[in-house]
Structure 1
Amino acid sequence: AGGIRVPNQTPRPPERPKLVKPSLNQTVVRKKSKQERPAWFVGNYQLRKELGHGSYGTVYLATSKTNNKFAIKCYDKSKLCDLRRKSEVRREISILQQLKHRNVIRLVEVLDQPKQLSLVMEYAGSQSLWGYLKDLSGNCIPEEEAKGLFRQIVQGVNFCHNQQISHRDIKLENVLLDGNHKVKLIDFGFATCMPHTKKMKLFLGTPCYMAPEIVDDKEYSGDKADVWALGILLYCLLVGFYPFTGNTQSDLFKNISKSQLKVPNKLGSDVKDLLSWLLQKSPNNRPTCSEILEHRWLGSGVDNEREVIDFMVNHGYFEPQILESLESAENEISQKYHELLEKRNTGLELNSKMLHSLA
Structure 2
Amino acid sequence: MRIPRHTLNISDFGGERVITSYYVQAIISRISLSTKAAQRRRVAIKIIKKSAIESHQDLLRIRREIRIMSALKHPNIIEIKEVFENAEKIIIVMENASRGELYDYLNNGGPLMEHEVRRIFRQIVSAVFYCHKHHVAHRDLKLENILLDDHMNAKIADFGLSNYFNGINLLHTFCGSPLYASPEIINGIPYKGPEVDCWSLGVLLYSLAYSSMPFDGRDFNRMIRQIKRGVYYEPDPPSTASMLIRIMLRVNADRRATIDEIADHWWLNFDQENRPIKDLPENQAILL
TM range (shorter): 0.7 to 0.9
Deviation at 1:114, TM superposition (A): 2.8
Residues 30-45 of structure 1 aligned to structure 2 (within 5 Å) = none
1:290 match: 260
Is the CA contact 1:232–1:243 (under 8 Å) kept in the aligned structure 2?
Answer: yes
Residues 121-136 of structure 1 aligned to structure 2 (within 5 Å) = 121-136=94-109
Residues 20-39 of structure 1 aligned to structure 2 (within 5 Å) = none
Is the CA contact 1:80–1:86 (under 8 Å) kept in the aligned structure 2?
Answer: yes
Counterparts of 1:325 and 1:255 in 2: how far apart (Å)?
A: 34
Is residue 2:20 matched to residue 1:72?
A: no
Could you report, residue by residue, the CA deviation over 1:5-48 in whole angstroms, capped at 9, with x for unpaired residues? xxxxxxxxxxxxxxxxxxxxxxxxxxxxxxxxxxxxxxxxxxxx
When residues 239 and 324 of structure 1 are mapped into structure 2, their CA distance, relative to the original with a 3 A threshold, is closer
Larger RCO, structures 1/2 (Cα 8 Å, 6+ apart): 2
Deviation at 1:211, TM superposition (A): 0.4
When residues 325 and 245 of structure 1 are mapped into structure 2, their CA distance, relative to the original with a 3 A threshold, is closer
Could you report, residue by residue, the CA deviation over 1:122-165 in whole angstroms, capped at 9, with x for unpaired residues? 1121411101011123xx21221100100000000110111100
SS at structure 1 position matched to 2:198: helix
Q: Which amino acid aligns with 2:76?
A: N
Deviation at 1:196, TM superposition (A): 3.4
Q: Which has the larger radius of gyration?
A: 1
Deviation at 1:301, TM superposition (A): 4.0
Counterparts of 1:195 and 1:302 in 2: how far apart (Å)?
A: 34
Counterparts of 1:300 and 1:259 in 2: how far apart (Å)?
A: 27
Deviation at 1:251, TM superposition (A): 2.4
Is residue 2:274 matched to residue 1:304?
A: yes
Q: 1:111 aligns with which of 76, 80, 84?
A: 84
Counterparts of 2:82 and 2:26 in 1: how far apart (Å)?
A: 22
1:48 match: none
SS at structure 2 position matched to 1:298: coil
Runs (5+) with no aligned partner, structure 1? 1-51, 310-321, 329-359
Residues 319-338 of structure 1 aligned to structure 2 (within 5 Å) = 323=281, 327=285
Deviation at 1:80, TM superposition (A): 2.1
SS at structure 2 position matched to 1:285: coil
Q: Which amino acid aligns with 2:281?
A: L
Is the CA contact 1:293–1:302 (under 8 Å) kept in the aligned structure 2?
Answer: no
RMSD over aligned Cα atoms: 2.3
Deviation at 1:262, TM superposition (A): 2.8
Deviation at 1:261, TM superposition (A): 3.0
Could you report, residue by residue, the CA deviation over 1:73-95 in whole angstroms, capped at 9, with x for unpaired residues? 11101112521111111111111
Q: Which amino acid aligns with 1:231?
A: G
Is the CA contact 2:27–2:48 (under 8 Å) kept in the aligned structure 1?
Answer: yes
Counterparts of 2:284 and 2:97 in 1: how far apart (Å)?
A: 18
Q: Which amino acid aligns with 1:323?
A: P
2:141 match: 170
TM norm structure 1: 0.68
2:222 match: 251
2:17 match: none
